């Protein structure tokens, strides 16, 4: 059975293809359209998935959309009605946006793919999140917690899942027990602070998490005035402090500003030496603390209720690695699974798997435990482009390439690393990464200044073999699993902090990737080779992109990024390109033409 899953229209659209119960490919539209967080209907992603599998749209048995678009429209309309007459400005915009294309999902799918209505299916938004988390995790029974800004009505759900592997005939069950409904939303609370702190909503929430480590949670009491716990263990937001439910223009109200002070202008850099800079960092630390406390409480209650050992986390909130680590440490669950794409993009895969297991009742199949579902890199493209530009290219066998790159890294060079299929999800997990030595602050500053062009307060992540992780990082039981897809933030052991300065955040923590050899054998070999040279098999691993751009996909995108930033060498397959000094002077004179 061939099932295409689609997520689209709000942020980070994607397509995923499941054949006979197993994912074949999945890719975010942004990787192909080259527009960060592209929300458009994922035509390029769908086309690539079908091409990759050698399928015509007519060969699909089902096309599953990741949410119920009319139910979502009902929520938008209801919220406009409830806010009457204050919603008079946002109402026309919301109606035009929804009625313009977002509610006509059937028509859109039909026009692009030509599949009949009988093959179109819909899941609920949080069902897709739950499926993406549970059905891809190596566990048979688990509690499930999903949390994001909002789906149709639900903003947070709890439930449990069970699957039976007995002879391949067992059914899979995903049971949602209860939900918290819009406008009460942990995701929206965090996004409101994201907007208040001058970052882009639905995109820069991770910057709030990074900034939080620089502050003190001195405004927790103020944040708790915004979010009140209910006697049944849930929460409600005091809507007097918010405006996201009545207008699209601003997330927070004047009362919010009265409580926390003037918001940050997004064009002002955050200077932690100033009073305002410290206030913003304290705000971030306070909302981060409240988010963590709330999630831990809900997860702990879920553990007590279900008695299960494992928890699957889904939804955009599950990208918060600090909260995930606290849930693992404090909720009572022994293992916490977060998929590589817990956000809306991952819903494309979740919807397809949900349809396969739940709607069609097909037996469980194990899903390969890796994130590499996207387009592969073609080393020939890189070699050709580099030669045409008179850049030195070497094609080396596997062992020689790994040794050579380890030499370059040990010499302080920064490497663009492309290997195999691209990752599905927002993290670079070893196939589209920028790698560097993790030892000095100078390296971090150099990456910020010459390569990533990003804020100084944001940390870089380390990658290390699973076997070495515990030596350098304080991992609780189950921490290695959470670190598989870089989903948890853990303390760096104090004795290693000075030697891992480029990847140790200001609070002594790091968002670790603990690498399993079978997941990315080439990067694993590189870590070993680097370890032989330096005694520390840890590398700095950051996504292969520059600020404002999606992670690179093909070799040529990697090459163009390499040419215009401070990366010293680029690897794709067996090809290694070293940058010539001043290879691209600016400006090119007309004499070139």
Partner 1 sequence: MGLPREAHVDRILRPVHRWVWGDFDRRVRKLIAFAEVEGDGGRDILRAAEVTPDPLLRRLYLAHAIDELHHADLFRQRSAALLQTRSTRLKTRFNASPLPGGHGLDDLRIDGEPDHRLLAFLHVAEKAAASRFAIYRDVVDDDPPTRAVFEEILRDEVFHMNYTYTQLARISPRSYRRHVWRARASRLWKRYLRVAVALAGVLGTVILTIQYFVLLPPFAWLARRAQRREPAGWTPIARDRQDSPASEY
- Show which residues are catalytic: 11
271 belongs to the binding site for partner 1 (CB under 8 A): no
* The only residue of 385, 512, 575, 577 in contact with partner 1, by rule CB under 8 A: 385
Cβ atoms of 17 and 23 closer than 8 Å: yes
Stretch near partner 1 under the rule CB under 8 A, chosen from 114-122, 213-221, 308-316, 473-481: 114-122
233, 301 in Cβ contact below 8 A? Answer: yes
Stretch in the footprint of partner 1 (CB under 8 A) among 100-108, 284-292, 313-321, 365-373: 100-108
Is 308 a binder of partner 1 (CB under 8 A)?
Answer: no
37 vs 185 by CB, closer to partner 1: 37
What residues between 327 and 356 interact with partner 1 by CB under 8 A?
A: 355
Which of positions 502-541 make contact with partner 1 (CB under 8 A)? none
> Closer CB to partner 1, residue 166 or residue 388?
388
* Residue 117: Cβ within 10 Å count: 8
Shortest spacing between CB 219 and partner 1, in angstroms = 19
Structure tokens at 14: 């994607």
CB of 519 to partner 1, least distance (A): 28
Q: Which tokens is 108 given?
A: 């859109």
Instruction: Name the token pair of 20.
Output: 């006979």
DSSP annotation of 592 reads G
DSSP label of 161 = E
| Binding positions for partner 1, 405-424, rule CB under 8 A | none
Tokens linked to 344: 């809306």
The CB-based long-range contact list for 466-470 (8 Å cut-off, 24+ gap) reads: 466/514, 466/515, 466/516, 466/517, 468/527, 468/531, 468/537, 468/538, 469/512, 469/514
Cβ 272 to partner 1 shortest distance, Å:
18
Nearest approach in angstroms of CB 407 to partner 1 is 28
Q: How far, in Å, CA of 373 to CA of 379, rounded? A: 18
Nearer to partner 1, 81 or 400 (CB): 81
* 388: contact with partner 1 by CB under 8 A: yes
Q: In the numeric block, which tokens belong to residue 6? A: 């689609």
DSSP state for residue 449 in the 8-state scheme = I
CB of 481 to partner 1, least distance (A): 28
Q: Which two tokens stand for residue 102?
A: 């977002």
559, 446 contact by CB (below 8 A): no
> Which conformational region is residue 185 in: left (phi greater than 0), alpha (psi within -120 to 50 degrees), or beta?
beta
Is 588 near partner 1 (CB under 8 A)? yes
Q: What angle do CA 454, 460, 463 make, to 5 degrees?
A: 145
Residue 474 structure tokens: 């304080």
Rounded CA gap, 511 and 495, in Å?
Answer: 18
Q: What residues numbered 38-97 form the site for partner 1, per CB under 8 A?
A: 38-41, 68-71, 74, 78, 80-82, 84-85, 87-88, 91-93, 95-97
Tokens for 210?
Answer: 């990074």
Q: Is 181 in the site for partner 1 (CB under 8 A)?
A: yes
Collapse the DSSP code of 154 into the 3-class scheme (helix H, G, I; strand E, B; otherwise coil) and give the result: strand
For the bound state, the minimum distance from the C-beta of residue 299 to partner 1, rounded and expressed in Å, comes to 14
Nearer to partner 1, 12 or 292 (CB): 12
Q: Is residue 259 part of the contact set for partner 1 (CB under 8 A)? A: no
Residues 7 to 26 in contact with partner 1, rule: CB under 8 A: 9-11
The number of residues in the chain equals 593
Q: How many residues bind partner 1 (CB under 8 A)?
A: 99
Instruction: With contacts defined by CB under 8 A, name the span among 5-13, 53-61, 391-399, 498-506 that binds partner 1.
Output: 5-13
Query: Segment contacting partner 1 (CB under 8 A): 262-270, 320-328, 392-400, 567-575?
Result: 262-270
Nearest distance in Å: CB 176, partner 1: 5
| CA–CA gap between residue 588 and residue 415 (Å, rounded) | 25
Using the minimum distance from each CB to partner 1, give the nearer residue, 150 or 402: 150
- Phi and psi, residue 357, nearest 5°: -85, -40
CA–CA distances in Å: residue 515 to residues 135, 465, 468: 21, 5, 9
Told to check if 306 binds partner 1 by CB under 8 A, we report no
206 counts as binding partner 1 under rule CB under 8 A: no
How many Å separate Cα 102 from the centre of its chain? Answer: 23
Q: Which is nearer to partner 1, 121 or 496 (CB)?
A: 121
Of residues 151 through 170, those in contact with partner 1 by CB under 8 A are 157, 159
297 part of the interface to partner 1, by CB under 8 A: no
Closer CB to partner 1, residue 251 or residue 541? 251
Distance CA 48, CA 57 (A): 12
> 267 or 495, CB closer to partner 1?
267
Q: How far apart are CA 214 and CA 364, in angstroms?
A: 45
* Adjacent-strand bridge partners of 511: 489
* One residue of 179, 282, 419, 568 binding partner 1 per CB under 8 A: 179
| Min CB(450)–partner 1 separation in Å | 14
CB of 65 to partner 1, least distance (A): 8
Among 2, 52, 264, 439, binds partner 1 (CB under 8 A): 264
Give 425 or 554: the residue with its C-beta nearer to partner 1. 554
3-class SS of residue 157:
strand
Q: How far is the CB of 221 from partner 1 (least distance, A)?
A: 21
Q: Is the dihedral of CA 317, 289, 243, 260 positive or negative?
A: negative
User: Of residues 215-234, which lie at the interface with partner 1 (CB under 8 A)?
Assistant: 230-234
Which residues from 123-142 bind partner 1, rule CB under 8 A? Answer: 123-124
Query: CB under 8 Å to 262, separation ≥6 — which residues?
Result: none
Q: Binding residue for partner 1 (CB under 8 A) from 134, 235, 256, 472?
A: 235
Using the rule CB under 8 A, is 105 a contact of partner 1? yes
> With respect to partner 1, which residue has the nearer C-beta, 137 or 180?
180
| CB contact at 8 A, 386 and 560 | no
């Amino acid at each position: 059975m061939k099932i295409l899953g689609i997520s689209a229209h709000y942020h980070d659209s994607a397509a995923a293809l499941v054949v006979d119960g197993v994912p074949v490919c999945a890719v975010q539209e942004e990787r192909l359209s080259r527009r960060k967080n592209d929300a458009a209907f994922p035509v390029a992603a769908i086309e690539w998935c079908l091409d990759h599998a050698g399928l015509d749209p007519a060969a699909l048995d089902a096309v599953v959309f990741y949410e119920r678009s009319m139910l979502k429209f009902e929520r938008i309309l209801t919220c406009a009605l409830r806010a009457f007459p204050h919603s008079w400005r946002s109402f026309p915009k919301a109606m035009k946006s929804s009625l313009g294309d977002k509610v006509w999902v059937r028509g859109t799918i039909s026009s692009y793919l030509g599949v009949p209505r009988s093959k179109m299916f819909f899941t609920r938004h949080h069902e897709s999140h739950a499926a993406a988390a549970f059905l891809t995790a190596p566990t048979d029974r688990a509690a499930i917690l999903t949390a994001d800004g909002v789906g149709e009505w639900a903003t947070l759900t709890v439930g449990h899942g069970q699957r039976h592997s007995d002879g391949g005939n067992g059914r899979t069950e995903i049971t949602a027990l209860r939900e918290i409904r819009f406008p009460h939303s942990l995701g929206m609370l965090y996004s409101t602070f994201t907007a208040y702190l001058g970052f882009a909503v639905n995109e820069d929430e991770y910057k709030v998490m990074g900034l939080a480590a620089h502050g003190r949670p001195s405004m927790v009491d103020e944040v708790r005035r915004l979010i009140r716990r209910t006697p049944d263990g849930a929460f409600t937001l005091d809507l007097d402090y918010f405006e996201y439910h009545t207008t699209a223009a601003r997330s927070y109200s004047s009362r919010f500003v009265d409580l926390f002070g003037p918001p940050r202008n997004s064009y002002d850099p955050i200077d932690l030496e100033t009073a305002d800079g410290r206030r913003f960092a304290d705000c971030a630390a306070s909302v981060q603390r409240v988010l963590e406390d709330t999630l831990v409480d809900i997860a702990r209650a879920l553990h007590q209720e279900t008695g299960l050992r494992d928890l699957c986390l889904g939804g955009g909130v599950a990208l918060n690695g600090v909260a995930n680590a606290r849930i693992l440490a404090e909720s009572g669950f022994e293992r916490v699974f977060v998929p590589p794409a817990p956000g809306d993009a991952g819903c494309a895969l979740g919807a397809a798997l949900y349809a396969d297991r739940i709607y069609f009742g097909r037996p469980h199949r194990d899903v390969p435990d890796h994130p590499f579902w996207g387009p592969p890199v073609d080393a020939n493209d890189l070699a050709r482009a580099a030669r045409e530009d008179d850049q030195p290219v070497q094609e080396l066998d596997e062992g020689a390439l790994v040794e050579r790159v380890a030499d370059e890294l040990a010499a302080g060079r920064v490497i663009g690393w492309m290997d195999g299929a691209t990752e599905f999800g927002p993290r670079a997990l070893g196939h589209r990464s920028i790698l560097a030595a993790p030892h000095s602050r100078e390296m971090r500053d150099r990456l910020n200044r010459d390569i990533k062009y990003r804020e100084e307060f944001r940390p870089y992540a380390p990658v290390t073999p699973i076997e070495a992780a515990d030596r350098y990082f304080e991992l609780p039981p189950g921490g290695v699993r959470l670190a598989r897809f870089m989903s948890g933030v853990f303390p760096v052991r104090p004795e290693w902090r000075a030697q891992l300065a480029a990847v140790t955040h200001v609070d002594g923590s790091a968002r670790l990737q603990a690498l399993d050899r079978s997941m990315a054998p080439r990067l694993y070999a590189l870590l070993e080779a680097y370890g032989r040279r330096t005694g520390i098999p840890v590398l700095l691993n950051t996504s292969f992109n520059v600020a404002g751009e999606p992670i690179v996909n093909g070799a040529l995108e990697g090459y163009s990024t390499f040419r215009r930033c401070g990366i010293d060498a680029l690897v794709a397959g067996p090809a290694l390109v070293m940058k010539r000094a001043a290879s691209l002077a600016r400006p090119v004179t007309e004499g070139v033409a």
